Amino acid sequence: MSSEIVIEISQLRTQFGSVIIHDDLNLTIYRGEIVALIGGSGTGKSTLLREIILLEQPIAGSIQVLGQEVLHLNDEQSLWLRRRCGVMFQNGALFSSLTVAENVALPLREHTRLSKAFIQELAAFKIALVGLPAHAGDKYPAQLSGGMIKRAAVARALALDPEILFLDEPTAGLDPIGADALDDLIIQLKESLGLTVVIVTHDLDSLWKVTDRVAVLADNRVFAVAPIPELLQLNHPWLQAYFQGPRGRAVPTASLV
């Protein structure tokens, strides 16, 4: 992890009607790290992610992404930032009427003036990069397994060579083997492409395996942000219940063998 800041959120306040979601929320994310956002249901994890990628507006505060204040961008700056950020939404959100290759090519068609042949080549490269066989490019999403759909969605998120990858519940709905393989892919992409990765996840196995640090949303703010072993030292009831409860485990299996 470098000391270069890629995302800096300060004094963020988010409110829907009279309901306060975030209040004085602060979070700093560094280049090359994998950070997960966790917290109870409704604590505003997905909303925070949507604010960072310009899909939602907070009431007050500051969100700087790659040195740009995202709350006051003109159209050109928004476009620039959207290209620097790859996003995989929950369930992949691929267009069902397009093949995988067409889905991956779509951001390239929208954001570049590259030739059709070159775009096809780039899409094929991204499809290979995420570990899909070449013939998967000709398939429609409905013809793919859950794990392949997630990989295709990651390929589309990587289409424009982003610096930051946002993943909303990437392993949700996958069997443990598929989820583990996707975790491997996320680590591999971070290491080979130098990506900074921000994940919203409830998957404890994933948290242990892929994250460098975990940011815990509680009481409308980021209550703590640290590697999991450090979080376990904190005496917060929700955190203890989360990691030490019936579905949690105090130490990763890898360190037991």
Q: Tell me the residue type at 126.
A: K
For residue 50, which phi and psi values (nearest 5 degrees)?
Answer: -65, -30
Task: Please identify, among the stretches 42-50, 100-108, 158-166, 182-190, the one whose residues bind ligand ATP according to the rule CB under 6 A.
Answer: 42-50
Contact indicator for 225, 27 with CB cutoff of 8 Å: yes
How far, in Å, CA of 157 to CA of 28, rounded? Answer: 22
Task: Please identify, among the stretches 36-44, 64-72, 189-197, 235-243, the one whose residues bind ligand ATP according to the rule CB under 6 A.
Answer: 36-44
**Cα→Cα distances 130→18, 30, 39, 125, 200, Å:** 43, 24, 29, 9, 20
46 binds ligand ATP, rule: CB under 6 A: yes
18 binds ligand ATP, rule: CB under 6 A: no
**Half-sphere exposure of residue 178: CA atoms within 13 angstroms, side-chain side:** 14
Q: Which is nearer to ligand ATP, 42 or 227 (CB)?
A: 42
27 binds ligand ATP, rule: CB under 6 A: no
Q: Which is nearer to ligand ATP, 93 or 128 (CB)?
A: 93
Task: Please identify, among the stretches 34-42, 117-125, 173-181, 205-213, the one whose residues bind ligand ATP according to the rule CB under 6 A.
Answer: 34-42
- Considering only 6, 7, 32, 45, the residue that binds ligand ATP (CB under 6 A) is 45
CB of 14 to ligand ATP, least distance (A): 8
Buried b / exposed e over 109-139, threshold 16 CB at 10 Å, is eeeeeeeeeebbebbbebbebbbbeeebbeb
Interface with ligand ATP (CB under 6 A), residue total: 10
Residue of 36, 78, 72, 66 lying closest to 163 (CA atoms): 66
39 binds ligand ATP, rule: CB under 6 A: yes
How far, in Å, CA of 169 to CA of 53, rounded? Answer: 16
Residue of 254, 231, 209 lying closest to 39 (CA atoms): 231
Q: Which is nearer to ligand ATP, 51 or 102 (CB)?
A: 51
- Considering only 1, 10, 15, 16, the residue that binds ligand ATP (CB under 6 A) is 16
Q: What length does the chain have?
A: 257
Task: Please identify, among the stretches 40-48, 58-66, 115-123, 157-165, the one whose residues bind ligand ATP according to the rule CB under 6 A.
Answer: 40-48
11 binds ligand ATP, rule: CB under 6 A: no
* 142 CB-near residues (< 8 Å, 6+ apart): 96
59 binds ligand ATP, rule: CB under 6 A: no
- Considering only 29, 36, 47, 228, the residue that binds ligand ATP (CB under 6 A) is 47
41 binds ligand ATP, rule: CB under 6 A: yes
How far, in Å, CA of 7 to CA of 5, rounded? Answer: 6
Question: Which residues lie near ligand ATP (CB under 6 A)?
Answer: 16, 21, 39, 41-47
